[in-house]
Amino acid sequence: MTIFPDIKPYDSGRLATGDGHELYWERCGKPGGIPLVWLHGGPGSGCTAAHRRFFDPERFDVLLFDQRGCGRSTPKFSLENNSTAHLISDIERLREMCGVERWIVAGASWGSTLALAYAEAHPEAVSGVLVTAVFLSTDEELAWWHCYPGAPSLFPDAFETFLHGGAAPEASGLPAFFEHSLGEMQAEIGRGMEMLKSLEDPTAALESLRRSLLYRWTEYEERISWLNTTPDGVRESLAARGAEFVACHSLIEAHYFANRCFLEADQLVREAGRLDAIPVEIVQSRYDVVCPPQAAMRLKAACPHARLSLVTHNGHAMTDAVHPAFQTAASRLADPA
């Protein structure tokens, strides 16, 4: 059982939010099928053609969209009016645009955060929740990623490259670290993106970005996303996605982290009771270093009715190793009886 064959959208368009943003959206699968919205990670990663392949196209009517400031949405790199509350409102606008009363909300990594935040804000609009690589946006999770003795202890070489000679942050100093990182990235965007756009060779554009924090931020995340990754493999992966993706992902992610993802402390767990009447499926890799399984266990404890599937897999991303459990979970939500 693998991900489904490549498909093309049957419809696509742009939705103006009314506050300066315009969202790219697309629909794929079965028109009039089981409605489902897919929420991509990052924040700032955007949707890809691979995301269309996560759900059975003979059963699901899937809406995908690029969140504010990234992917094909405009304006690119915009942090203005770009918060979790804004994204939740966008999902509601898209649901109304599609004319569906309730839909399954699915997401991975940051997408799991947004899926939970949306479902807790609008439980009446949600028929099911499907999350993988769970991220609850807590200080502890951010400290695991950026501070010793967390992920940096497993990937000390990657972390040293990320720091670029700077000092490792302490957990208590993470807010200031994120604020400083965001400021540095904004300066790099201002200095460099016009130059990058002028370079016809995408490889040259990415190489010119490699010494920047914009590059090192996403490079570090990619390095720790797989237990068997190599620097060359990461370089090839980022080259395939391009300089614009790298800059978008790093800048918007730093913006959200500097603002604690615009959520109150432990908000998603504290308000999990709002999901009591909604089927919840959790699929989690045991060896996800970016989003370790403790968050999935906490979510399961807060939602006793949820089903948790732990998968023995060596990374953070959705792959053939994770997809069978993910597909089975999606099928259960499609046939709740």
- 3-state DSSP call for residue 226? strand
Q: Is 316 a catalytic residue?
A: yes
Burial class (CB in 10 A: 0-12, 13-18, 19+), 40: buried
Give me the residues paired with residue 283 across strands.
Answer: 132, 309
Rounded Cα–Cα distance for residues 103 and 96 (Å)? 11
In the set 45, 83, 89, 109, the catalytic residue is: 109
Residue 78 · residue 20 · CB < 8 Å: yes
Query: What does the pLDDT read at residue 328?
Result: 93
Parallel/antiparallel/unpaired status of strands 11-16 and 280-285: unpaired
Residue 200: both structure tokens together: 């016809």
In the set 137, 288, 313, 323, the catalytic residue is: 288
Q: Is 157 a catalytic residue?
A: no
Rounded Cα–Cα distance for residues 27 and 178 (Å)? 35
Q: Is 139 a catalytic residue?
A: no
* Residues shown for the chain: 337
Q: How far is CA 326 from the centre of its chain?
A: 16
**pLDDT by position in tens, the chain (length 337):** 467 999 999 999 999 999 999 999 999 999 999 999 999 999 999 999 999 999 999 999 999 999 999 999 999 999 999 999 999 999 999 999 999 999 999 999 999 999 999 999 999 999 999 999 999 999 999 999 999 999 999 999 999 999 999 999 999 999 999 999 999 999 988 766 665 555 556 666 677 777 889 999 999 999 999 888 888 888 888 888 888 899 999 999 999 999 999 999 999 999 999 999 999 999 999 999 999 999 999 999 999 999 999 998 778 877 667 888 999 999 999 987 6
In the set 21, 255, 316, 323, the catalytic residue is: 316
- 3-state DSSP call for residue 145? helix
**Report field, pTM of the whole predicted structure over 0.85:** yes
Residue from 332, 316, 330, 299 nearest 53 by CA: 330
Rounded Cα–Cα distance for residues 73 and 159 (Å)? 31
> CA-CA distances (angstroms) from residue 211 to 143, 207, 278?
24, 8, 46
- 3-state DSSP call for residue 2? coil
